[in-house]
Amino acid sequence: MAVSPIDTRYKTEMNSLFEEQNKLALWMRVEVALARAHEKLGHIDSGSADEIEFASKKVELARVLEIENEIHHDLMAMVKALTEKCSKYGGHVHLGATSYDIEDTALALQLRDAGGLLRSRLEQVLDILASLAKEKKNLVCVGRTHGQHAVPTTYGMKFALYYDSLKRNLRRLDDSISQISYGKMSGAVGTMATFGDDAFQIEKLVMEELALKPAPIACQVISRDRHAHLLFTLALISASIEQIAKEIRNLSRNEILEVAEGFSKKQVGSSTMPQKRNPHKSERLCSLARLVRSNVSVALENISLEHERDLTNSANERFIISDSFIVCDYMLLQLHKILSELEFFPENIEKNLKLSNGAIMAERIMIKLSEKGMGRQEAHELMRESAKEAFVKKVHLKEILKFNSASKFLNESELDLLFDEKTYTGKADDIVKRVIGDD
């Protein structure tokens, strides 16, 4: 029975890339590539690589695990199991290699595949954010800073901002995939001593077959800054997801209720409060983002291995890499679902826009007073005092300005125009087009 929720609740297509069966297949794929390189260089008999490849298709995970239980070495267990299935050339398996020539090169293949899947998820979320930004580019709402009403903005701006953030993360992911797409075939401490004079050629041939780049230098392992870079990118993606999820949570509060997660017909919000419509999917994303971020600190610790390598990275990498990828994949899938089903409440968006009794337009009127001849600082102070007075008296700000020094510069009809929130969104429409495109 599964213990980890990534095998049940948060399981995605990504899981299959990190299952033991796939890892074993990748290890043997590298072994076959190594045999082919030796064969091309005349180090082993012709036909050796084909036999090893054919044998690899007959190796069973159960047998590998059985051998590992006896010898306590997972990679060597695979080598022994693969050798068993070879009829003639078993002695050519793993020739000249150390364990992490195989493991780290296979890991690069695994992470490249995982990164590619994650990239496709990101593109799907980007598509729906772009659609929402265009669809809602003229939906004016109140902007909030420090949790307080600031000046008007648009929902198009909100979604374009998130699009821009995830677009940067897509570029970061591409760079991280490139940085991790390196293998090694350099022996126990990186000197290539076991491969003799043809060492560089062996490594080149192996990496060409696997479509990887050879690491320019390695010790027993590929330098772990590459892996930390990748996990940090996943953390950035999860943080951007959390930014969106947190905004949805806040905007779905009863007092605000401008948007809400989709709520299915039979969905239950609380076991005791039947009326609840909790933003639990968004809350879940915020929770999982903490997990992905926490794994970065472990990945950073793995960089400073002792001498030419110790084993302190190995055990934790069995958790942090697969967990980060699977959780991040789940988060992107869930975010796409949330955004696809997001419900808007235009009447509440309009109500909140008017909630401050015109105070959110104080900046605009300050600027207009300055244009009319009042000093900027004087205008700022006038609007500050006027806003305070309107708040205390619970009246619209215009009612205060009609009877103080602002009236010397602005008549009532001018004030009416200045208090139209929908005409004070600046270049919001153009900014959305600049970010998303104008199609």
**Catalytic residue annotation:** 146, 270
Residue type, 335: L
Give, for 316, the enclosing helix (H) or strand (E). Answer: helix 314-340
Q: Strand (E) positions, 211-315? A: 213-214, 259-260
Question: Whole-angstrom Cα distance, residue 410 to residue 328?
Answer: 54
Q: What CA–CA distances, in Å, run from 132 to 139, 166, 222, 242? A: 11, 14, 42, 18
Question: Whole-angstrom Cα distance, residue 414 to residue 376?
Answer: 19
Residue count of the chain: 439
Question: Whole-angstrom Cα distance, residue 291 to residue 303?
Answer: 20
Residues facing 259 on adjacent strands? 344
Q: Which of 43, 374, 47, 309 is nearest to 202 (CA)?
A: 43
Q: Check residue 261 and report its DSSP letter.
A: -
Question: Whole-angstrom Cα distance, residue 349 to residue 258?
Answer: 5
Distance of CA 428 to the CA centre of its chain: 26
Question: Whole-angstrom Cα distance, residue 267 to residue 264?
Answer: 5
Q: Could you tell me where the DSSP H helices lie in 181-279?
A: 199-210, 225-251
